[in-house]
Structure 1
Amino acid sequence: MNDKIKSVITCDLDGKIESLSEGAQKLFGYTEDEMIGKGRVSDFSPGQIVLGHVVNWLNESVEKGEWEGDTVFLHKDSHEIPCHIKITPTKGKEGEHIGYCGVTTPLIDKTPDEVRPNISLMTKIFTWLVIMRLPFLTATFVPLLVGAAVANFLDYDVSWGWLGLTVLGGCLLHIGTNTANDYFDHTSGTDEANYNYMVPFSGGSRSIQMGLISSRGMLIVSLVAFALSAVVGVPLIQKAGMDVLWLGLIGFASGFFYTAPPFRFASRKGLGELLIGLNFGPLMVAGSALVQTGKILPEALLAGIPIGLLVAAIVYMNEFPDHDGDKATGKNTLIVVFGPEKARLGYVFLVVGAFVSIIIMALNGTFPKLSLIALPAAYFGVRAIQTLYKYYNDRLLIPANAGTINMHLVTGLLFCIGIWLG
């Protein structure tokens, strides 16, 4: 390799590549057409180096004006290149921070192992957190807790041991769903066509694209998680009856085939969002109460309505940045069907519907009036709506993505407390 090659790459704050010098094209093997406006600077680094080091390097470059050091980069053909890089923040016309510039030279007298940054144990653990998308398991915790609260409200004894086993089974189903969706979004080309994803809210986990795990490995994780959920389900079925099995099968089928052929529910013009709302709302709340009571309670199905609407709102909000990639690969989400601008109103309906349903159920006596303590969480929804209407096609949408997750979590926990104590 020519040691006189100098690569200069600039990117925006999301890492999306804005310019690629001739030296960069020679060093990494990509053309401008392949990368500008499409690729990310993370495409040039092994995934665990991205997770464990790159963010720190970027932050230090902002704090100190630059960061400089040796590392390993990846060529287009996946072979490793030992390099020296200097990172500096780039500024806009008014001096605002708008991105980064990396100047890279190959180290012909070094091997990749000599310059490879250390991968800590915490980074290795974090890798699996990313692969399985564990932070999103709050979407499982909340409805299962609400289901237990409904059982308690109706004077059934709640067993914490059985609740714990229910949560474990639900989480395994959720992990199986997450990893299956990543696998099939990869094989369909959806994630590869998605240039506008916003980590960690949209575009999947990016674990396959970052090289954290192979596509085959991702599928294996999914199948193992589903299999373990079935094992956990056996004692739950023995306790509460065959209805647990039917609910579990619905969860498996709708989760696995959310992006898997031949059904690809996520591409069925609203069916995917509907299934998510039902699974993580009425069905999961009812399933949790079923384990405690041995019955599918109408009150549990009703309690799942606001929870399901807010889970659907999370997915709905996260589909805005994915619009272009989804549309290009035939993944017809509601955002693709209506277009991002018109689809904003759908988010308003989901949020308003969730909180109106809580009010109705409290006022008509289905649940205690103390359940109205969940209403202040609507603040997150109001802020998210304001952000969505202004930045629906911009990276500044991120606070709305995060706010929707917070709204679901806080609303669900307060609703649970209100039902339990009421």
Structure 2
Amino acid sequence: MKLAVVGGGSTYTPELIDGFSRLRDTLPIEELVLVDPAADRLELVGGLARRIFAKQGHPGRITTTSDVDAGVADADAVLLQLRVGGQAARNQDETWPLECGCVGQETTGAGGLAKALRTVPVVLDIAERVRRANPDAWIIDFTNPVGIVTRALLQAGHKAVGLCNVAIGFQRRFAKLLEVAPSEVYLEHVGLNHLTWERGVRLGGPDGADLLPKLLAEHGDSLAADLRLPRVLLDRLGVVPSYYLRYFYAHDEVVRELRTKPSRAAEVAEMEKRLLEMYGDPALDEKPELLSKRGGAFYSEAAVDLAASLLRGGGSPIQVVNTYNNGTLPFLADDAVIEVQARVDRSGAVPLPVSELDPLYAGLIANVTAYEDLALEAALHGGRDRVFKALLSHPLIGQFAYAEALTDQLIAHNREHLAWV
């Protein structure tokens, strides 16, 4: 079995390598190719990756290349974890929207749209190369904004499934609180990528006892603190929202905070410098503790589980993924991409039924889906008017003056990445 990781020079990659090593019985990889245009980073990450495999006794071979075509040739699956423009572009995404009083964030609002416009054309080009190399290869997308990118891939006819680590993070957290194995925890996870709620936490599967009320009663303070949302909100809703919902439920508070401190991109860029220095140490043969602060916790376990199911039918039969709606949420079009529990096997991902959603959640999902429709149109076809309409439709923007100003800012900051400018 051959896997390729596009964006393999990312500082995330040792987390993925660690998972591949530990879970090699679930996903037996014979060859792993790390693909990245940044040859200097690729050398450092590739060296550490080989040492991790060697330390843990993994027999697979790890190679590196900056040539996408060579890297994906004959691959059974390709993982996408790329960042067009790097942390410098992310830093812009997180700062210029603040000038209009709108949240600056890399996956939602104006910054999220900018990332989508930069990313979708690049991902589609890579996907076409994958299809030419092996039409049967699966594409697993971890590249943000996952919902929009996954929809672009599916709409173009690619064998693709989107992946996020939010659900597995909640699963692990709840399992620890309940003192059970993570595999015993089934989440009623529903929504769009980075716009989800946990409506139930069941033991043993979808028909098990719902322990979410118990978790909220006994651990509501700590859960609320982690989400940086008021405990009373969780109690009133009776659900646990994704931490990305803070951008919606406490938007103005977040904007005030972001205006008073360095961007997350600046923090990550500094962290990446330190990580790359560590990766260059020939004595290092495991992922460093600092990597846990980089983000992406449990990404490797989720990626292994998904790849194993798609390639061998050997992973968990039910997983949280991003895939076509196909009637699951009746208020959305079939070709909307949602993030829910799905049955996953070699034929792909099929969402499990979801009980009727409260209008509080359905309304926001419908609104953001409409934005994602317009965002994808802008990413595929370009044009100032399409960018403006996408921004105007976003619930975190929604005002003419803001949308006008943000459109100009977005284009000005992303000219080098927009072919239509």
More strand by share: 2
For normalisation by structure 1, the TM-score amounts to: 0.25
TM-score by length of 2: 0.25
Higher helix share: 1
